[in-house]
Amino acid sequence: MEIFNSTLTQMLVMFCFILIGFVLKKMQLLPDNGATVLSKLENYVLVPALVLDTFMTYCKIDSLRENYNMILYCMLLLVVALVISLPLSKVFSREKTLTVSEQKYRRNIYKYALTFGNFAFMGNAVVLGVLGDEGLFNYLLFTLPLNIAVYTWGVIILIPEGNGGGNALKNLFNPIFVSLIAGLIMGLLGIKAMLPDFVITTISNAKGCMGPVAMILTGFVIGGYNIRELLGKKRIYAAAGLRLIVIPALMLLLLKVLGVNDIIMTLAVFAYATPLGLNTVVFPAAYGGDTKTGAAMAMISHTLAVVTIPLMYLVFIVLL
């Protein structure tokens, strides 16, 4: 129950930062390109700092040998998510008012949304607040397959046809993934002990900003749309219910049947029961695709997640 209360508290804190971002946008206290600036700050500085510090601190040969099974279980759940999301995305994208190409792209949006939650920005922040640095290391190991899938297949399907998805290998070598590999090597070689104190302090301070800035970014993006119009998209509620409750519940029941320990169960909750992420807004916006669907998903699911994530933890970790 202590972790449940910590999870609920952390979700409420995150929601407050989302409200701050929403107000900043509605009151025009930041320029229109504020979302782009915050997104680049997250992707190029704050998240890499978090990943680098965590891996170079906790990544040791013994810890990798003891925890490799985390990666295997995450891969299993990723396959489950794909099996569920691929047929369901066809159902959600059927609209008579859309052209064939628009339906295909809308289907890709739902494929991504039902396969991946906001396991990085929100997941990292919540895990850090609830489980601490060592728990975050386990979480980053667990979500390694998700990061690889997002920056290869995920990025490609979110870019509209005709605009090019780039090379999958090039997409993989982004700042976040590079910092993960660098942190892993530095941790195994014990390089952190050789770094000057000011460097370690700089990285530590940067990682502390990751969670608040990510949630402010979320609120800022949502604030750029007509809320009534976003709330009127009925299919989004069904997608949010699948993303927040149904799909993670099926996954957690599978892990229960397999006799998985509570540590992996907890990591699965924070990785797969998180709300719909912002990539369904960021990438379509960058390449001229549909952004309203992604924005509606982000707003509705992030609001509901304040209740659903602690509830999923309570049901599957505390009670079952």
In one-letter notation, the amino acid at residue 140 is L
Beta bridge partners of 117: 276
Listed in order, strand segments (DSSP E) in 72-154 are: none
Max CA separation in the chain (angstroms)? 62
Contact 260/307 with Cβ under 8 angstroms? no
Contact 248/268 with Cβ under 8 angstroms? yes
Give the number of other Cβ atoms within 10 Å of residue 119's Cβ. Answer: 25
What residue ranges define each of the domains in the chain, with the CATH number in brackets?
2-319 (1.20.1530.20)
- List CB contacts of 14: < 8 A, sequence separation 6 or more: 122, 125, 126, 211, 215, 306
The pTM assigned to this predicted structure is 0.81
Tens-binned pLDDT, residue by residue, of the chain (320 aa): 566 677 778 778 888 998 999 999 999 999 988 888 888 888 889 888 988 988 888 888 887 788 889 999 999 999 999 999 999 998 888 777 777 777 888 888 999 999 999 898 788 888 888 888 888 989 988 998 888 888 778 877 887 766 555 555 666 677 888 888 898 899 889 999 899 999 999 999 998 888 888 888 888 888 888 888 778 778 889 999 999 999 999 999 999 999 999 899 999 999 999 988 777 877 676 666 677 788 888 888 888 888 898 889 889 888 87
- For position 166, what pLDDT does the model report? 53
In one-letter notation, the amino acid at residue 145 is P
Report the distance separating Cα 15 and Cα 25, nearest Å. Answer: 16
